[in-house]
């Protein structure tokens, strides 16, 4: 190197006067001893086998960690498979419980999946469930309509209340761009205290406990002749309806654009705001139906604890199902197996119900983490010897 | 009437502390560009850890609260790993962490029997003569150590962000990670430090609720204060002093509810409980209306994962 | 000739299957201005990002002053005296100049405490460097209050303060007026003569001819040659860059029809209350191509957004022939009913959802027009069939399946897809914003031919372009925007000097 270069550098930069010295220093620092380095890039597309592999790896990891935790809290390792598979799916009693439990989980999973399709973080599923239950109970308390129409009316009232409650954060977001993550969560607490206000006040049962009077027989969701609850049929019907909406209607086509890129959708003249409002109302209605299904299909009255946990479960189901309605139903069914297994574990081993929550969280974390492999390409760049 | 105001005002600082601490912690993380929804969960972790240490080893309450900070910081490493290294969607990761923490704390509290066990906790320290000044004394000078420490803490966070090289680096990473990266700032490391330090403060907020406010551990005892703190950060436009002011506002709303009942004013009890949440929502709406036609001071890269070798 | 200061040998780099560099070599000597010439996508930026430590090469070597070097990142590159001015400036916009300079120095000696002394030193250094480059800069000015040319100067100063002996500038003249570019080049010449190596990444042949001592040409990720531009004919440079020369189409003077699009005193205010667009009036007639020229950031994007229905005009009005009335704000859906088509520069921001399929992106306009069934049922089979036909008639290549994501298309093909959609219902008004930005010569020619053809067929074309060559080649009339105002209107044949003068306010 010519000497005048370092001289010139000195003139050009008053601060760093190191010329070749810098290079020499860096070289001396032993930088050359490394063998290579990791490079991370965003993939242009991921193949199906890769996606499948990532998902499988995630499930194995998540369930493995969960099994480890269960063993740690005292479940014998050899009976794990028994508790989760044989005792839930193969045992007729428990299998029925799984199906009963699945209905509201499917509905909240659909509620989350639909809202996510228009980039609306609906974390207010529990609040919407509460208002669904409140709406249904209102019809029951007022004895509205003839007996044969009572259940449909209750469902309708539930949907109306849930959709109205969901419209608050939707309008706040669309009109004033109030962040819906916070507003929906805050409204959950408001809904909860409104519920308590009713249950400790005007709607308190004659027995003095803070729950509503029991529903009449005509207000309970019946079982079909085959033993399958109407709740499950309702949830299945909603799954099909949402699949149609998403895959075959023009609204579904628009939703894809709103979800992929709201700015582009707006520039293309698609009715973005109306789509968001419509889908959030649908989401709120689905959550409200879940509240109705739990109240009328399981509890038989409005209680103060029919909803906790469904909100997050719904969000997690929606996420795991990648916002696909059919997948949401499948994941909800599996989640239901987990819940029932958890109940069995509580009975036989005294494992607290929060263990189920923990397992859900761990599995979802694993799946979310596995996306890294799907989205990115990681490779090791080796230096030449 | 004077006693009503004095007792009300005297309880405000300790109810404001958790909001202020959590909001400061979130500001650190969000100014570095990491949208942190984990507060509700990390506060629970901080609360349970401090209660666990307090019940097990019976140390000074301040030591127990340090344990809470450490525990929350430790759990936040999991969050950092998910969002900084694996670039998981920050909303999903935050929610899952909250869910995870709710499950974990409930499970551990249950298994080890820490639930609903009362303890003496952190008490007030009267500042000598000052505490005897009528009206002002009880309000300002009969508080606990953390209340007194809040001023230096807020000042410290503000100083760190605005006046130090680390703060410059942190804000750069939150505003424009590409630029910071090209200038040789390690985006991942800076974000990691910011999230960890911030989470320690959030953990302290939770520990304070358990050790100084409620003095007992019960499941989900933070009851939404983490979410309110997140709203508070937006309200404060990511500024520590404004966050402290907002915390006082929320503290006073929370403090007034039981005082009203004690003063014999009959109001629908449960509807009254909605006021903190409705007030938060009101504040969010107010902020949004104000910002419809102007900047919100939101960090430019908030919520966006950073990958250097991205190509479209 | 002494041996090289910066040398890259047989460097390759792939991005998930896309081979950006395929054994490219480059070498620059101290004290020269060395141009790196190539079309968009030739690999110029990738090669230089490797030099400045942002990317790691898959293979090949980098030598600095004859010594083989591996860069762990930008920090190490800076420490070794390599500074880069990126095309998109790497500046933190809400920070002051001083803070940006301090930030770039954090690599050396990390201390948590503020170093008052260093602030003072840097303040002085900024003043000194700015003066050395022939100008002044206020160290406390926020980046977002500076003009593009000033921001570029900050980048250069930042690199020099960090001790750069090799200064790489990626497409520095793309955002400057002719006059500003001239000034920048004088600055660079001064730096070179004091020993700094300047690498000028560009796709403009004129830059090379006018300013470079030497030029290395890249094509398709490979080095085609390294020559002295002074002794090489323009045609030869073109041939080396593009591979073959493209024929140019000459237009005959057309007859224009009625006014299809007209703005009257249109004004748009920014958030801070200043006027981005200030009382702009012009009209475009059927069969005419009207270009809005100007340096970027002079109100063109705000004007375009109003015409796209994405922004409300503060005052004044826009008249669309098919609307029958003057409107101040029309949402995009209404504009489409007036027969307006858009070809934006930022395709993935305004026109294509990259994550959705080619077929969906093609069909979305017609779905909204109800051409593929009612709200209740979407006729997907028919959509796919039409999409297939349109893709072949608009020569969109690189589509392996209709379900392929639009993001996987190259820039040129993505733009052709946009045009295929926008022209599926022949538009009466076309608003095109820098429609060839980021495209290679072939795709640019195709886009231009489409615009010219629709003008011949009677459409009114508004071309908003920062590329004066493009405007002069296509337009029948050119309006020049500066500071939000329409400062001059010119009719073909154009005088480049005159228009350039209007752009910087010497009209």
Answer yes or no: is A90 within a domain: no
The chains found to touch C (3+ Cβ pairs under 8 angstroms) are: A, B
C126 touches chain B (CB under 8 A): no
Tokens of C263: 């703005």
pLDDT digits (tens, 9 = 90+) for A202-214: 899 888 889 999 9
Closest alpha carbon within chain A to C377? A249
Q: What is the pLDDT of residue A26?
A: 42
Q: Residue C404: in which H helix or E strand, if any?
A: none
Go through chain A and tell me how many residues it has: 385
Distance CA B138, CA B3 (A): 11
A-contacting residues in B 236-265 (Cβ below 8 Å) = none
Q: What is the pLDDT of residue C115?
A: 64
Confidence of residue C312 (pLDDT cuts 50, 70, 90): confident
Distance CA A67, CA A65 (A): 5
C-contacting residues in A 190-249 (Cβ below 8 Å) = 248-249
Considering only CB atoms, C165 lies closest to which of A9, A249, A270, namely: A9
C2 touches chain A (CB under 8 A): yes
A-contacting residues in C 185-224 (Cβ below 8 Å) = 191, 194-196
In this predicted structure, the answer to whether residue B171 has a pLDDT above a threshold of 50 is yes
Instruction: Indicate yes or no: CB of C112 within 8 angstroms of CB of B165.
Output: yes
Considering only CB atoms, C364 lies closest to which of A15, A248, A257, namely: A257
- Beta-carbon contacts of C497 under 8 Å, excluding residues fewer than 6 positions away, are none
Answer yes or no: is A305 within a domain: yes
Q: What is the pLDDT of residue B102?
A: 94
Q: What is the mean pLDDT of residues A244-270?
A: 93
> Percentage helix, strand, coil, to 5, in chain C?
35, 25, 40
Distance from the B99 Cα atom to the nearest Cα atom in chain A, whole angstroms: 6
In this predicted structure, the answer to whether residue A351 has a pLDDT above a threshold of 50 is yes
Q: What is the pLDDT of residue B293?
A: 64
* Beta strands at C326-327 and C315-320: parallel, antiparallel or unpaired: antiparallel
Q: What is the pLDDT of residue C466?
A: 82
pLDDT digits (tens, 9 = 90+) for B206-228: 999 999 999 999 999 998 999 99
Distance CA B304, CA C278 (A): 35
Closest alpha carbon within chain B to C272? B294
B-contacting residues in A 95-134 (Cβ below 8 Å) = 121, 123
Distance CA C249, CA C448 (A): 10
Confidence of residue B25 (pLDDT cuts 50, 70, 90): very high
Q: What is the pLDDT of residue C82?
A: 92
Indicate the average pLDDT of chain A: 86
Residues A196 and A211 occupy one common structural domain: yes
C54 touches chain B (CB under 8 A): yes
In this predicted structure, the answer to whether residue B77 has a pLDDT above a threshold of 90 is yes
Q: What is the pLDDT of residue C328?
A: 62
Considering only CB atoms, C94 lies closest to which of B175, B181, B182, namely: B175
Residues A255 and A315 occupy one common structural domain: yes
Q: What is the mean pLDDT of residues C333-357?
A: 87
pLDDT: is C343 or C240 the higher one?
Answer: C343
Find the range with the poorest average confidence among A100-104, B102-106, B251-255, C111-115: C111-115
Residues A277 and A375 occupy one common structural domain: no
In this predicted structure, the answer to whether residue C496 has a pLDDT above a threshold of 90 is no
C-contacting residues in A 83-122 (Cβ below 8 Å) = none
- Beta-carbon contacts of A165 under 8 Å, excluding residues fewer than 6 positions away, are A124, A127, A128, A131, A187, A191, A284, A288
From B279, B288, B295, B278, select the one nearest A177 (Cα to Cα).
B288
Instruction: Indicate yes or no: CB of C72 within 8 angstroms of CB of A251.
Output: no
Answer yes or no: is A12 within a domain: no
Go through chain C and tell me how many residues it has: 507
Instruction: Indicate yes or no: CB of B178 within 8 angstroms of CB of C90.
Output: yes
Domain B2-290 CATH class label: mainly alpha
- Beta-carbon contacts of C69 under 8 Å, excluding residues fewer than 6 positions away, are A23, A26, A27, A31, C62, C63, C80
Instruction: Indicate yes or no: CB of B82 within 8 angstroms of CB of A369.
Output: yes
Answer yes or no: is A279 within a domain: yes
Indicate the average pLDDT of chain C: 85
Answer yes or no: is A23 within a domain: no
A162 in Cβ contact with A127 (< 8 Å): no
Distance from the A147 Cα atom to the nearest Cα atom in chain B, whole angstroms: 33
User: Count of domains in chain A?
Assistant: 2
pLDDT: is B96 or C114 the higher one?
Answer: B96
Domain with CATH 3.40.50.300 in chain C: 6-242, 254-339+462-507
Tokens of B37: 């929804």
The chains found to touch A (3+ Cβ pairs under 8 angstroms) are: B, C
From B189, B209, B188, B164, select the one nearest B72 (Cα to Cα).
B209
pLDDT: is B98 or B134 the higher one?
Answer: B98
Interface contacts (A, B; CB < 8 Å): 142
pLDDT: is C59 or A238 the higher one?
Answer: A238
Q: Residue B301: in which H helix or E strand, if any?
A: none
Distance CA A167, CA A157 (A): 15
pLDDT: is B20 or B297 the higher one?
Answer: B20
> Percentage helix, strand, coil, to 5, in chain A?
75, 5, 25
Q: What is the pLDDT of residue C436?
A: 83
Say whether B142 sits in a helix, a strand or coil. strand
In this predicted structure, the answer to whether residue A259 has a pLDDT above a threshold of 90 is yes
Tokens of C206: 């004129």
Residues A289 and A160 occupy one common structural domain: yes
Distance CA C434, CA C293 (A): 10
Distance CA A291, CA A308 (A): 11
Angle between helices A150-176 and A180-200 (to 10 degrees): 140
Positive or negative: CA dihedral C395, C401, C406, C410: negative
Q: What percent of chain B has pLDDT over 90?
A: 61
C314 touches chain B (CB under 8 A): no
pLDDT digits (tens, 9 = 90+) for C272-291: 777 889 999 999 999 999 99
The DSSP annotation for A213-231 comes to: PPPPGGGSPPBPTTS-BHH
Q: What is the mean pLDDT of residues A249-257?
A: 94
Instruction: Indicate yes or no: CB of B103 within 8 angstroms of CB of A361.
Output: yes
Positive or negative: CA dihedral A279, A281, A284, A286: negative
Closest alpha carbon within chain A to C365? A268
Contacts of B164 in chain C (CB under 8 A): 112-114
Q: What is the pLDDT of residue C116?
A: 74
Distance CA B106, CA A44 (A): 42
From A385, A337, A316, A341, select the one nearest A80 (Cα to Cα).
A341
Distance CA C502, CA C298 (A): 12
In this predicted structure, the answer to whether residue A62 has a pLDDT above a threshold of 50 is yes
Q: Which residue do the tokens 């965003």 mark?
A: A42
Q: What is the pLDDT of residue A228?
A: 77
Q: What is the pLDDT of residue B312?
A: 33
Residues A212 and A279 occupy one common structural domain: yes
A44 touches chain C (CB under 8 A): yes
C438 in Cβ contact with C367 (< 8 Å): no
Q: What is the mean pLDDT of residues B25-34?
A: 96
Distance from the C252 Cα atom to the nearest Cα atom in chain A, whole angstroms: 34
Contacts of B301 in chain C (CB under 8 A): none
Find the range with the poorest average confidence among A264-268, A377-381, B113-117, C139-143: A377-381
In this predicted structure, the answer to whether residue C26 has a pLDDT above a threshold of 50 is yes
Distance from the A283 Cα atom to the nearest Cα atom in chain B, whole angstroms: 18
B-contacting residues in C 190-209 (Cβ below 8 Å) = none
Mutate to test the interface with A, among C194, C308, C343 (most CBs of A within 10 A): C194
Closest alpha carbon within chain B to A358? B103
Find the range with the poorest average confidence among A149-153, A379-383, C31-35: A379-383
Q: Residue A6: in which H helix or E strand, if any?
A: helix A3-12
Positive or negative: CA dihedral C20, C24, C30, C35: negative
Contacts of B182 in chain C (CB under 8 A): 52, 54, 74, 84, 86, 90
Containing structural domain, residue A67: 38-73+353-385
Distance CA C458, CA C438 (A): 28
Q: What is the pLDDT of residue A385?
A: 46
Residues A357 and A261 occupy one common structural domain: no
Closest alpha carbon within chain B to A363? B96
Q: What is the pLDDT of residue C452?
A: 92
B294 touches chain A (CB under 8 A): no
**Burial label, A27 (beta-carbon count in 10 A; 0-12, 13-18, 19+):** middle
Answer yes or no: is A265 within a domain: yes
Q: What percent of chain C has pLDDT over 90?
A: 29
Q: What is the pLDDT of residue C244?
A: 60
CA-to-CA dists, residue A342 to A66, A83, A109, C491, angstroms: 12, 9, 19, 79
CA-to-CA dists, residue A37 to A141, B72, C12, angstroms: 69, 32, 16
Query: CATH code at A118?
Result: 1.10.3470
Q: What is the pLDDT of residue A12?
A: 34
CA angle A341, A345, A351 (to 5 degrees): 130
Q: What is the mean pLDDT of residues C454-483?
A: 90
Q: In the 8-state DSSP scheme, what is residue C142?
A: B
Q: In the 8-state DSSP scheme, what is residue B126?
A: E
- CATH number for the region C254-339+462-507 comes to 3.40.50.300
Distance from the A235 Cα atom to the nearest Cα atom in chain C, whole angstroms: 22
pLDDT: is C320 or C504 the higher one?
Answer: C320
Q: Which residues of C4-26 are buried (b: 16+ CB within 10 A; e: fewer)?
A: bbbbbeebbbbbeeeebbeebbb
Contacts of A304 in chain B (CB under 8 A): none
Residues A198 and A255 occupy one common structural domain: yes
Most confident of B118-127, B186-195, C72-81, C328-337: B186-195
Contacts of C75 in chain B (CB under 8 A): 184
Q: What is the pLDDT of residue A328?
A: 97
CA-to-CA dists, residue B88 to A64, B79, B92, angstroms: 21, 9, 7
Q: What is the mean pLDDT of residues B229-235?
A: 93
Residues A156 and A69 occupy one common structural domain: no
From C173, C251, C242, C158, select the one nearest C206 (Cα to Cα).
C173
ipTM (interface pTM): 0.90
pLDDT digits (tens, 9 = 90+) for A277-320: 999 999 999 999 999 999 999 999 999 999 988 998 999 999 99
Q: What is the mean pLDDT of residues C95-111?
A: 76
Q: Residue B5: in which H helix or E strand, if any?
A: helix B2-31
In this predicted structure, the answer to whether residue B289 has a pLDDT above a threshold of 90 is no
A381 touches chain B (CB under 8 A): no
B-contacting residues in C 459-498 (Cβ below 8 Å) = none
A378 in Cβ contact with A39 (< 8 Å): yes
Confidence of residue C354 (pLDDT cuts 50, 70, 90): confident
In this predicted structure, the answer to whether residue A39 has a pLDDT above a threshold of 80 is no
Confidence of residue C326 (pLDDT cuts 50, 70, 90): low
Find the range with the poorest average confidence among A25-34, C155-164, C215-224: A25-34
* Beta strands at C460-465 and C429-433: parallel, antiparallel or unpaired: parallel
pLDDT: is A275 or C147 the higher one?
Answer: A275
In this predicted structure, the answer to whether residue B142 has a pLDDT above a threshold of 80 is no
Confidence of residue C107 (pLDDT cuts 50, 70, 90): low
β-sheet with C67-69: strand ranges across? C18-28, C6-15, C59-64, C67-69
Q: What is the mean pLDDT of residues A350-378?
A: 88
Residues A344 and A372 occupy one common structural domain: no
- Beta-carbon contacts of A167 under 8 Å, excluding residues fewer than 6 positions away, are A277, A280, A281, A284
pLDDT: is A250 or A2 the higher one?
Answer: A250
- Per CATH, is C6-242 categorized as 3.40.50.300? yes
C365 in Cβ contact with A257 (< 8 Å): no
Q: What is the pLDDT of residue C301?
A: 87
Instruction: Indicate yes or no: CB of B91 within 8 angstroms of CB of A121.
Output: yes
Answer yes or no: is A174 within a domain: yes
In this predicted structure, the answer to whether residue A135 has a pLDDT above a threshold of 90 is yes
A307 touches chain B (CB under 8 A): no
B-contacting residues in A 18-47 (Cβ below 8 Å) = 39-42
Mutate to test the interface with A, among C70, C405, C425 (most CBs of A within 10 A): C70
């Amino acid at each position: 190197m010519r000497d005048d270069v370092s001289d010139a550098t000195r003139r050009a930069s008053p601060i760093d006067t190191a010329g070749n010295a810098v290079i020499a220093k860096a070289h001396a620092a032993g930088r050359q001893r490394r063998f290579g380095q990791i490079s991370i890039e965003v993939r242009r597309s991921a193949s199906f086998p890769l996606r499948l592999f990532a998902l499988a790896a995630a499930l194995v990891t998540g369930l493995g960690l969960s099994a480890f935790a269960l063993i740690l809290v005292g479940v014998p390792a050899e009976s794990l498979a028994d508790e989760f598979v044989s005792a839930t799916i193969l045992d007729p009693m428990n299998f029925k419980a799984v199906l009963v439990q699945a209905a509201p989980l499917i509905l909240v999973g659909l509620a989350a999946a639909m809202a996510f399709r228009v980039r609306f973080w609906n974390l207010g599923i529990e609040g919407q469930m509460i208002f669904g239950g409140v709406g249904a109970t209102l019809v029951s308390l007022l004895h509205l309509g003839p007996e044969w129409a009572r259940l449909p009316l209750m469902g309708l009232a539930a949907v109306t209340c849930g959709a109205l409650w969901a419209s608050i954060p939707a309008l706040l977001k669309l009109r004033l761009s109030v962040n819906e993550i916070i507003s929906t969560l805050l409204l959950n607490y408001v809904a909860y205290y409104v519920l308590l206000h009713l249950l400790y006040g005007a709607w308190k049962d004659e027995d003095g406990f803070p729950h509503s009077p029991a529903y009449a027989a005509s207000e309970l969701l019946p079982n079909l002749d085959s033993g399958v609850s109407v709740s499950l049929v309702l949830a299945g019907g909603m799954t099909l309806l949402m699949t149609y909406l998403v895959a075959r209607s023009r609204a579904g086509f628009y939703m894809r654009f709103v979800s992929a890129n709201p700015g582009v959708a707006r520039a293309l003249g698609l009715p973005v705001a109306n789509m968001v409002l419509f889908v959030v109302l649908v989401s709120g209605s689905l959550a409200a139906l879940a509240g109705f299904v739990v109240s009328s299909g399981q509890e038989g009255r409005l209680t103060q604890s029919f909803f906790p946990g469904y909100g997050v479960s719904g969000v997690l189901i929606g996420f795991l199902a990648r916002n696909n309605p059919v997948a949401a139903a499948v994941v909800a069914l599996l989640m239901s197996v987990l819940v029932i297994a958890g109940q069995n574990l509580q009975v036989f081993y005294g494992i607290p119900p929060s263990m189920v929550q923990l397992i859900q969280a761990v599995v979802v974390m694993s799946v979310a983490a596995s996306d890294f492999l799907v989205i990115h390409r990681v490779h090791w760049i080796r230096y030449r010897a | 009437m004077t006693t009503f105001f004095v007792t009300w005002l005297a309880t405000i600082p300790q109810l404001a502390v958790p909001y202020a601490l959590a909001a400061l912690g979130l500001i650190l993380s969000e100014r570095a560009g990491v949208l942190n929804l984990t507060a509700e969960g990390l506060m629970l972790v901080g609360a349970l850890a401090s209660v666990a240490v307090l019940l097990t080893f019976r140390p000074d309450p301040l030591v127990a609260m340090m344990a809470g900070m450490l525990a929350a910081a430790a759990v936040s490493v999991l969050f950092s790993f998910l969002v900084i290294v694996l670039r998981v969607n920050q909303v999903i990761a935050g929610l899952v962490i909250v869910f995870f923490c709710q499950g974990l704390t409930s499970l551990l509290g249950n298994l080890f029997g820490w639930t609903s066990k009362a303890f003496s906790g952190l008490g007030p320290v009267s500042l000598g003569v000052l505490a005897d000044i009528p009206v002002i004394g009880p309000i300002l000078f009969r508080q606990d150590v953390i209340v007194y420490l809040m001023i230096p803490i807020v000042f410290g966070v503000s100083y760190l962000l605005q006046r130090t090289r680390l703060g410059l680096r942190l804000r750069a990473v939150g505003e424009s990670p590409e630029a910071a990266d090209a200038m040789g700032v390690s985006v991942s490391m800076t974000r990691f430090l910011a999230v960890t330090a911030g989470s320690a403060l959030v953990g302290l907020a939770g520990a304070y609720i358990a050790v100084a406010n409620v003095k007992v551990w019960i499941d989900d005892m933070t009851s939404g204060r983490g979410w309110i703190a997140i709203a508070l950060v937006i309200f404060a436009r990511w500024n520590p002093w404004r966050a402290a002011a907002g915390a006082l506002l929320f503290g006073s709303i929370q403090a007034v509810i039981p005082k009203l009942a004690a003063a014999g004013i009959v109001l629908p009890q449960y509807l009254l409980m909605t006021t903190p949440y409705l007030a938060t929502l009101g504040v969010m709406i107010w902020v949004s209306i104000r910002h419809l036609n102007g900047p919100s001071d939101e960090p430019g890269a908030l919520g966006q994962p950073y990958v250097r070798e991205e190509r479209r | 000739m002494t041996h090289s200061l910066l040398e890259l040998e047989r460097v390759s780099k792939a991005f998930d299957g896309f081979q950006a560099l395929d054994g490219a070599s480059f070498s620059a000597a101290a004290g020269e201005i060395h141009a790196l010439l190539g079309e968009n996508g030739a690999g110029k930026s990738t090669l230089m990002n490797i030099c400045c430590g942002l990317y790691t090469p898959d293979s090949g070597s980098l030598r600095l002053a004859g010594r083989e070097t591996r860069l762990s990142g930008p920090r190490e590159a800076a420490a070794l005296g390599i500074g880069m001015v990126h095309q998109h400036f790497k500046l933190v916009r809400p920070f002051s100049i001083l803070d940006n300079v301090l930030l770039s120095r954090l690599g050396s000696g990390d201390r948590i405490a503020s170093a008052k002394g260093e602030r003072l030193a840097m303040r002085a250094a900024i003043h000194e460097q700015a003066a050395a480059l022939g100008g002044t800069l206020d160290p406390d000015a926020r980046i977002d209050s500076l003009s593009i040319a000033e921001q570029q100067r900050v980048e250069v100063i930042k690199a020099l303060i960090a001790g750069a002996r090799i200064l790489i500038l990626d497409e520095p003249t793309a955002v400057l007026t002719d006059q500003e570019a001239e000034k920048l080049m004088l600055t660079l010449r001064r730096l070179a003569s004091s020993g700094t190596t300047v690498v000028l990444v560009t796709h403009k042949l004129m830059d090379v001819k006018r300013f470079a001592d030497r030029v290395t040409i890249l094509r398709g990720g490979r080095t085609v040659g390294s020559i002295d531009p002074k002794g090489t004919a323009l045609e030869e440079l073109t041939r080396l860059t593009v591979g073959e020369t493209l024929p140019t189409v000459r237009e005959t003077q057309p007859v224009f029809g009625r006014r299809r699009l007209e703005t009257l005193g249109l004004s748009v205010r920014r958030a801070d209350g200043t006027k981005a667009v200030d009382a702009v009036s012009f009209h475009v007639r059927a069969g005419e191509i009207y270009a809005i020229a100007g340096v970027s950031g002079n109100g063109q994007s705000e004007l375009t957004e109003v015409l796209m229905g994405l922004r409300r005009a503060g005052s004044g009005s826009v008249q669309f022939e098919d609307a029958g009335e003057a409107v101040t704000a029309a949402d995009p859906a209404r504009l489409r009913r007036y027969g307006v088509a858009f070809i934006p520069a930022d395709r993935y921001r305004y026109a294509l959802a990259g994550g959705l399929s080619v077929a969906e992106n093609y069909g979305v306009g017609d779905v909204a027009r109800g051409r593929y069934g009612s709200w209740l049922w979407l006729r997907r089979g028919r959509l796919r069939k039409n999409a297939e036909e349109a893709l072949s008639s608009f020569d969109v290549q690189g589509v392996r399946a209709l379900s392929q994501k639009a993001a996987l298309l190259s820039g040129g093909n993505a733009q052709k897809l946009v045009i295929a959609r926008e022209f599926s219902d022949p538009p009466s008004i076309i608003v095109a914003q820098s429609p060839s930005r980021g495209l290679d010569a072939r795709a640019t020619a195709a886009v231009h031919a489409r615009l010219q053809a629709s003008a011949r067929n009677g459409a009114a074309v508004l071309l908003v372009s920062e590329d004066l060559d493009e405007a002069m080649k296509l337009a029948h009339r050119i309006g020049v925007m500066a500071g939000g105002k329409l400062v001059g209107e010119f009719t073909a044949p154009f005088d480049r000097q005159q228009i350039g003068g209007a752009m910087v306010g010497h009209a």
